[in-house]
Structure 1
Amino acid sequence: MTVSNISRGIRVGVIGIKGMGWSNLQSILKISDVTCTAICDIDDEVLRQRLHELKQRNIHPQPYKDYKQLLAASDVDAVIIATPDHWHCLQATDAMRAGKSVYVEKPLANSIQECDALIAVKNKYKSIVQVGQWQRSQQHFRDAISFVHSGKLGKIRTVKAWAYLGWKKRVPKMPDTHVPDGVDYLAWQGPAKRGPFNPNRFHYNFRWFWDYAGGLMTDWGVHLLDYALLGMRVWAPKSIMATGGKFAYPEDAGETPDTMTAVYAFDGFNIIWEHATGIGRGPYEREHGIAFIGNNGTLVLDRNGWEVLAENGRMEPVSIQKKADIGLDLHMANFVEAVRSGREELLNAPIEAAAHIAKLSHMGNIAYRTGGRLTWDRNDEQFIETDANKYLVAKYHNGYVLPKV
């Protein structure tokens, strides 16, 4: 969006309007000079529902089923991409090439190779790209990391991040069936392998299939491990180990592990990731969180707030510091500010930072899938164990190809 366009406000289009796309739109519309001019979804029923809801607010966007038609529209300045992970790279690339500013849901991409490709595209087109890691805009997360950086915890030897989701139930096996009326399932599958329609491989449950996503590791892990990296001022581990499986629901339809532990080795400390479905009581009695475990004390952080637990009187504890804002709203305001000004450096979750955490999460999944300890070559950006490198690349089908600049 050019500076000359700022006076008339920012016109937003949304690609994928069912789940987070709808939440993101509700948030950005709280900003006074933002309007919604276009929405896109491959499901007619979803489009009908959203058009009806927006009409009640006197908002009348143009509906599309083909996202490329939305990107070609002259009345769209910025686009929100909230489709399944396997579409992020291609749609974000097309949006940047179309001259749009981009807000893309996390994870940035569904493979390490796609992360690098997206950075190259962004650098070519000088695009404004914010990634939906909204915790980076929330004040209590920032305050917690400032405390970690103060050194008061002493030497930090372990950082633990976790998601114990008691509400996450099994994905029951269901037979293949006909494509629902009004659904363009070929477009939904896009670069993924073609197959018959199955309700489990559609809408929210896409997260539990390797063709489209990376399970809880690239869902919650991207959010929480991001803060582990921020707190420790690192990104590339020396080695990664992971183990787990479908221990909670061994017979359900999903492919990704419902129980998993990953250990990332850095110089002088480890970062440990844990996730489990069907269990809600995680470490420190929190279903999710990040714990920075130092010699003097442990800082425990989640979406509700943070506190410091002192180690045998070596420091003063800090009582719970509760959240006082809405992270998604602040994140959208940050995106709009960067779009208005054309200043990429204002972004709280720029594409480079999002690539770091997406890569780290994919590394954990690759270690799980290969079943061994993997060593990361920081210079060549690949594993020393060459058999694992096949998981770095994007697996495109149906004529789709990785974006190149």
Structure 2
Amino acid sequence: MSDSLQRRNFIKAASASLLLSSFGTYGFEFFKDERPKKVGLIGTGWYGTSDVLRLIQVANVEVNALCDVDSIFLENTAKLVAQRQKNGQKPKLFTDYRKMLNAMDFDIVLIGTPDHWHALMCIAALKAGAHVYVQKPISVDVMEGEAMVAAARKYNKVVQVGTQRKSTPHLISVKEEIIDAGLLGTIGHVDMCCYYHMRANDNPPLQEVPDRLDYEMWTGPAPMRPYDGLPHRRWWRTFREYGNGITGDMCVHMLDTVRWMLQLGWPNRISSKGGIYVQKNGKSNISDTQTAVFEYDNFNCNWQHRTWGNAADPEYPWAFKIYGEKGVLKADVMKAEFIPANGDAPKKFEVLYERDTYPEDLNEKDIELHAAPATRRHMLNFLNAIQNNTRPIADIEEGHISSASCILANLSMDLNRPLVYDPKSKRILNDPEATQLLQRSYRGPWKHPYPDTI
């Protein structure tokens, strides 16, 4: 073993010890299983690939199979995985997730596809006997999420949702040192926002589908749009056919983090206003401007996004702010600060990077270096829950509450009225029209999952 490799392994071992001593209560542990866990990945795009590489870094796993409808993405990720995993083997490649699940046995399946595929793939992997790590938001409609929760419970499997803010070191410190310590006093209001200019709004012409892509399978249960270019990365997110816009993509992270910090469940009522007010010239059909109010017993959590103009607070363009009688807490993925109302000096928190411990991160295309430590800890918490048969920190039910709340905000915007969702009856109270919209139609031959028929 080379000196540099020995040094790197020593650093990683030291980091593991520090991790356990600092964050042991969150189930962050390094595992030394005698038998490596067999892993499959469905969706080899940006975040699917990032997730599987983070898992390889912290656990004894063998990534045996990859699935994607884009042959170039599939081959590129296969090469990366072969370079990174210990056995050096290239995973088997599939273009249909059903064939992959039928052909092989997995301990863990990671799902990094666009949102409109999450429910069917998650439920199929659970039925096949695997534990699942699924990206957020977990679904494109509320009943999909209910079915995913039902499947996880029926098959007694761990499902971790990729809301890794709960595993972000500086936000864990914020929760412990500010929220749990009671420094805010009585909390009376929460603001959440995103002002990133991330809404794709082009007008590309219709094109022939390239040989690299199975567009029929990519579309799956979603409505079929005429093909106008590769839908990867930002383009698919700009259409309600495949997701829930900026609210479903970005609010879900902030709302989930606030709910975790303040121990909040389902909102009592959800209302939202918005639409396409400024960016009217492109094909995008998601809102460019939207506000939403998630009402709780003693305060409201307010969301606002604009994909144009300047951020209200340039220091916190995607963030949450919790207002208490004794001060305000501002936080985002990079930093946080508690500003006491009595004039004392603010208490500041900074993001943790692990460049020295994981130098391979520095050469990885499109990696979010600030998020990598959080994702590694999220994977470790996932593995800890599997090992101990417990619920992970981002359990599917919690992911469902956060995802469904954002979906309900969009429904409220569409219907122009507040909505009260009852998770027991799985209905919008006193609103049959809204209740019908809790599940959308699937394109044949795909069939929508139901929680009572899993």
* TM-score normalised by L of structure 2: 0.82
Say if 2:65 is the partner of 1:65.
no
Q: Residue 86 of structure 1: SS of its match in structure 2?
A: helix
Alignment CA distance shift 1:375-1:177 (3 Å): same
Alpha-carbon distance between aligned partners in 1 of 2:79 and 2:309, rounded to the nearest angstrom: 38
1:392 maps to 438
What secondary structure, in the 3-state scheme, does the structure 2 residue paired with 1:199 have? Answer: coil
SS at match of 1:29: helix
Correspondences of 1:167-178 after superposition (within 5 Å): 168=198, 170-178=200-208
Deviations 1:221-263 (A, max 9, x none): 1111112222332222222221122234111211111211111
In the other structure, the counterpart of 1:150 is 181
CA positional deviation for 1:50: 2.2
C-alpha change, 1:391 and 1:201, in structure 2 (3 Å) is farther
In the alignment, the residues of structure 2 paired with residue 353 and residue 169 of structure 1 have an alpha-carbon distance, to the nearest angstrom, of: 27
Equivalent residue number for residue 191 of structure 2: 160
Question: Are 2:357 and 1:329 aligned?
Answer: no
Partner Cα separation in structure 1 for residue 388 and residue 448 of structure 2: 27
Q: 1:294 is matched with which residue: 320, 324, 348? A: 324
Out of 403, 406, 422, the position equivalent to 1:358 is 403
2:34 counterpart SS class: helix
2:347 aligned partner: 319
* Distance (Å, rounded) in 2 between the aligned partners of 1:379 and 1:52: 46
1:31, CA displacement in angstroms?
A: 2.2
The 1:200–1:52 alpha-carbon spacing in structure 2 relative to 1, beyond 3 Å, is closer
SS in 2 for 1:283: coil
Matched, 1:35 2:80: no
Q: Is residue 2:160 matched to residue 1:130?
A: yes
Give CA-to-partner distance per residue, 1:194-243, whole Å, 9 cap, x none: 34322274553211211110011111111111122223322222222211
Supply the distance in 1 between the matched residues of 2:76 and 2:441 (Cα, whole angstroms): 33
**Cα distance between partner residues in 1 of 2:441 and 2:175:** 36
Alpha-carbon distance change, 300 to 206 in structure 1, aligned in 2, over 3 angstroms: same
Write the deviation string for residues 368-398 of structure 1: whole angstroms up to 9, x where unpaired.
Answer: 1112233344653432333222321142121
Gaps of 5+ in 2: 1-31, 354-372
Instruction: Tell whether 2:301 aligns with 1:271.
Output: yes
Q: Which residue of 267, 290, 304 corresponds with 2:334?
A: 304
Following the alignment from structure 2 to structure 1, what is the Cα–Cα distance between the partners of residues 125 and 424? 31
- Higher strand proportion, which one? 1
| Structure 1 match to 2:22 | none
Q: Which residue is equivalent to 2:390?
A: 344
| Percent identity between the two aligned chains | 29
Output the TM-score relative to the length of structure 1.
0.92
Which of 30, 33, 36 lines up with 1:9 in the alignment?
A: 36
- Amino acid aligned to 2:189: T
| RMSD of aligned residue pairs (Cα, Å) | 2.1
Q: After superposition, give the CA deviation of every residue in 1:154-192 in whole Å (9 maximum; x if it has no partner).
A: 2211101111114x2542112222111121111111111
Does structure 1 retain, via aligned residues, the 8 Å contact 2:165–2:374? yes
Give the Cα separation in 1 of the matches to 2:313 and 2:143: 33
Which is further off, 289-298 or 46-55?
46-55
Query: 1:304 and 1:203, CA in 2 relative to 1: closer, same or farther beyond 3 A?
Result: closer
- Assess if the C-alpha contact under 8 Å between 2:271 and 2:419 holds in 1: yes
Structure 1 ranges of 4+ moved more than 6 A:
none
